[in-house]
Amino acid sequence: MDTTQVQVTYGPGKIRKFNIPETPCTYEELKSDIQCRIPSLVGKMFGIQYLDDEENWIIAVSDTCISEAFRCSREIEGTYMRRMKLRIFDGCSPQVSGFSTDKRDVMEPKCLFESSRDPVEALESDCKRQLRKSVYRSPLQLLIDELEDEVHVKSVEFESAKEHLKSLEKKFTNPNIKIDKTKSQCGHGNDLDKHDVEKKQFCDASTTVKNITKDLEKVKQNLHLKKQTYENTCDTFFSRVLPHLVNTNTDKYYPVGSFGLRQLSMGAIHPDIAILDKHYRGIIPKDLDSAARCFGQILEKYQKDNRGPTEKPKNPIQRFMEDRGVEFPKFKTPQTTTTTTSSTVTSASAPPVQYMPTYGYYPMGPMPMPYQFNASPLMMNQRRMPVGSPLPMTVCNPTQSPSFGCTEMDTVGPDAFDDESEYIACLPPKKQKL
């Protein structure tokens, strides 16, 4: 009976693999089987998620979901066995403590903050891996790291597929082999063309090797181009010193921005790199890891030597008088007030304004109200007026009213002011020639 491999992730770094029959089972049967394989889940309430065709984690809640999980299982490279990926979460929600991430991991996104690529042996312990220092790496460096990892994965797949092809070739082409009873009884011997099933296996293995070889060459070529680009663009002092400077003070040069994500602070990076460039005279240190330990001292010393005067320089006259023992006079700053009727700021020591002369003022008589010009309805609709004619205006004439409490509105034309009429009675009298 064909079997399906089940890969269950039940915690950070905890994976369990086991085989079950290929026929789909129910949700409760799969859950009981997982509890039997993982004793730590016995007596606990947990849920199951499966990986679909689009590589999204879907919550399984019924037998139909389990059938869909069997359908989404993928074939393992170099074998005919299929693998179904499952994930366990505590309680009824997939947002669990077992899979929750630390806030520091959220504030330090993977795109710009990765583990250093120190040479470490493949068989080192997890304790040694935790001693790696988190350093800033440019996006191009991270892309190169991902391509190197992909090359390693493809190389392992290529070696595995190659070994599988060799084993099939040895099995189907060796005339002295007696294990396969079908071949010895059918009379065709080791003629592979006469055995369709064996020939299909051999052809599939050969095709797998060819495809993996093409993918590996493509990834290697892409990696070579990225490394060449990095070497051509990272010869400047700024690009070489930037990662090491950021790692000296991540809170200053790589602060937490919006949405809890970190971003480079170029306003702090450019001045400090300019200071380091001046200190090293544009020559990149050979050992940047050792030189980075002195970056803070260099910047602090430069800021201390070039710190400007803390106090405001004195007046040269004041300095001249104080050097000769003469006390420089001190003046009080005048207080200013702002009137409500005008926006003009006047001194408190100045006398208040008693009267401001206005247009049409009689020195020996009462002051009439100033003219008020209001637009008439004809001014609002100029289409009713002949072209070239001046605009009429409305004049407020307080002299015609028996009292100053109410005014009389008259509409006059431009020729109304040619003669001395009642509309200009409020103007000052003309000077008489003696």
CB 152 within 8 A of CB 231: no
SS3 94: coil
| pLDDT given at position 195 | 64
SS3 sequence, 143-171?
HHHHHHHHHHHHHHHHHHHHHHHHHHHHH
Q: Report d(CA 378, CA 385) in Å as an integer.
A: 8
Question: How far out from the chain centre does Cα 359 lie?
Answer: 65
Render 270-303 in DSSP notation, one character per residue.
Answer: HHHHHHHHHHHTTPPPS-HHHHGGGHHHHHHHHH
The second-level CATH assignment, the architecture, of 106-117+133-233 is: Orthogonal Bundle (1.10)
SS3 252: helix
CB 202 within 8 A of CB 172: yes
Our CA dihedral for 23, 28, 34, 38, rounded to 10 degrees, sits at -160
Residue-range domain boundaries for the chain? 3-95, 106-117+133-233, 237-305
SS3 242: helix
pLDDT in 10s for each residue of the chain, 434 residues: 577 888 888 888 788 888 887 777 888 888 888 888 888 888 788 888 888 888 888 888 778 888 888 888 888 877 778 888 888 887 555 543 334 334 333 333 333 333 334 444 433 434 333 333 446 777 888 888 889 988 988 888 888 888 888 887 777 665 544 444 444 445 555 566 666 677 777 788 888 889 999 999 999 999 999 888 888 877 788 888 888 888 888 888 888 877 777 778 888 888 898 999 888 888 888 888 888 888 888 988 888 888 765 566 668 888 888 888 888 777 666 555 544 444 444 444 555 544 455 555 445 555 555 555 455 554 444 445 555 555 555 444 544 444 444 444 454 555 554 554 454 455 566 666 65
- Reported pTM: 0.36
Question: Hey, what CATH class is 3-95 in?
Answer: alpha beta
- Those residues whose C-beta lies under 8 Å from the C-beta of residue 85, and which sit 6 or more positions away, are 7, 9, 50, 51, 73
pLDDT in tens, 82-128: 888 888 887 555 543 334 334 333 333 333 333 334 444 433 434 33
Judging by beta carbons within 10 Å of its beta carbon (0-12, 13-18, 19+), is residue 108 exposed, middle or buried? Answer: buried
For residue 151, which of 202, 82, 79, 227 has the smallest C-alpha distance? 227
Q: In this structure, how many other beta carbons lie within 10 angstroms of the beta carbon of residue 119? A: 4
Judging by beta carbons within 10 Å of its beta carbon (0-12, 13-18, 19+), is residue 375 exposed, middle or buried? Answer: exposed
Rounded to 5°, the CA angle 334-338-340 comes to 160
Strands 46-51 and 57-60: antiparallel
| pLDDT given at position 217 | 92
Question: How far out from the chain centre does Cα 331 lie?
Answer: 55
Only one residue has tokens 């890891």, namely 289
Only one residue has tokens 């074939």, namely 75
pLDDT in tens, 187-221: 555 566 666 677 777 788 888 889 999 999 999 99
- Those residues whose C-beta lies under 8 Å from the C-beta of residue 21, and which sit 6 or more positions away, are 1, 2, 3, 4
Q: Which tokens hold the place of 371?
A: 């003219």
| Element housing 224 (H / E) | helix 196-233
Local structure of residue 259 (DSSP, 8 states): G
Only one residue has tokens 């889940």, namely 41
Rounded to 5°, the CA angle 233-238-239 comes to 40
Q: Report d(CA 118, CA 279) in Å as an integer.
A: 29
Local structure of residue 262 (DSSP, 8 states): B
Residues facing residue 93 across a β-bridge: none
Distance, first Cα to last Cα, the chain: 138
CB 144 within 8 A of CB 234: no
Mean pLDDT for the chain?
69
